[in-house]
DNA sequence: TTTTTTTGCGAAATCAATTGCAATAAAAGC
DNA sequence: GCTTTTATTGCAATTGATTTCGCAAAAAAA
């Protein structure tokens, strides 16, 4: 049976406080502000458990690599800010269903990654 | 000065024969059909040279990892067939420029990855 | 208290990509 | 055509980054 350890709760808290896709190091860094003994292996183990439990989703970003984000937020695209290196989730979908692919291709899913400058960095 | 080795020409030929994004192992496997002594390190070295020379472009696919494709084909999206594990390039862009991101986000580029079944696998 | 999961730590396994080096081969020079 | 020069290859070893693992100690929950 799964136990509510301070480490696991801290990792979930990290995602609550920073509601955007986070890399393993980010989770470790933010998590250590909550539980300073937090270990990298513990982060890896818990990220895996949280994915298994359906609380997190694993995403592979073309520039940032493996990231994790909270589930249950509906379809969204990803924005990567080249200035602060943060990833953001942008709700909604700007893809035209009909011209998405030529006849014959059966499209089941899609991932959209945007690149640019985020509002906090633009000013 | 750059030499036209049989290995390098074979690698370029591989991309001419299979005009879709290819992974390093695919380039190696197809390349060995043309030059059986072809070595992995040679593939890595030449892919890098061909990128430097602007003949290939490096792409990071969320599922397939690092891939290379020929340059000069204009903007396109990528389609990944879950049946044959091949990547395809789909010319054109089905993204709505205006609703692409909320106000404040400056979008400079984007990558779109589609997932599904390709025409050859669908029948 | 007792039981059992979980942690921290360092070691180790993976995987992708790079490098050193002697042998090879393309291109230039004779 | 033959020799010289030097880029390139093949091979194995190595790096570097990411992820996993073994195990004793710690801490939930029973």
What are the pLDDT digits (tens) for A23-47?
999 999 999 999 999 999 999 999 9
Give residue B97's pLDDT: 75
* C-alpha dihedral sign at B76, B77, B81, B87: positive
% of chain B with per-residue pLDDT over 90: 93
Q: How far is the CA of A28 from the C1' of D18 (A)?
A: 14
Q: Do B11 and B63 have their domain in common?
A: yes
Q: Do B88 and B59 have their domain in common?
A: no
Q: How far is the CA of A4 from the C1' of C17 (A)?
A: 40
Q: Specify the CATH number for the domain of residue B30.
A: 1.10.10.10
User: At residue A29, what are phi and psi to the nearest 5 degrees?
Assistant: -65, -50
Q: Do B11 and B56 have their domain in common?
A: yes
| Burial (CB count <10 Å: 0-12, 13-18, 19+), residue B23 | middle
Q: Which domain holds residue B11?
A: 6-70
Residues in contact with A29: Cβ distance below 8 Å, sequence separation at least 6, in sequence order: none
Residues in contact with A104: Cβ distance below 8 Å, sequence separation at least 6, in sequence order: B118, B119, B122
- The total domain count for chain B is 2
Q: Do A42 and A64 have their domain in common?
A: yes
Nearest residue of A to residue B114 by CA position? A110
Give residue A90's pLDDT: 96
Q: Do B12 and B57 have their domain in common?
A: yes
Q: Which nucleotide is nearest to B2 (CA to C1')?
A: D7
Q: Do B54 and B106 have their domain in common?
A: no
Cβ B81 vs Cβ B117: under 8 Å: yes
Q: Within a domain: residue A48? A: yes
What is the ipTM, given to two decimal places? 0.90
Cβ A115 vs Cβ B107: under 8 Å: yes
Q: Which nucleotide is nearest to B43 (CA to C1')?
A: D9
Give residue A52's pLDDT: 96
Q: Is the CB of A22 under 7 A from strand C?
A: no
Q: Is the CB of A35 under 7 A from strand C?
A: yes
What are the pLDDT digits (tens) for A80-91?
999 999 999 999
């Amino acid at each position: 049976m799964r136990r509510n350890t301070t480490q696991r709760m801290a990792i979930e808290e990290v995602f609550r406080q920073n509601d955007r896709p986070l890399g393993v190091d980010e989770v470790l860094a933010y998590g250590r502000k909550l539980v300073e003994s937090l270990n990298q292996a513990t982060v890896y183990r818990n990220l895996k458990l949280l994915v298994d439990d359906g609380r997190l989703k694993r995403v592979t970003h073309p520039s940032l690599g493996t990231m994790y984000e909270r589930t249950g937020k509906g379809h969204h695209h990803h924005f990567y800010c080249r200035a602060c290196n943060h990833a953001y989730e942008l709700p909604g979908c700007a893809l035209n269903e009909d011209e998405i692919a030529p006849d014959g291709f059966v499209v089941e899913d899609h991932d959209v990654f945007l690149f640019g400058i985020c509002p906090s960095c633009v000013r």
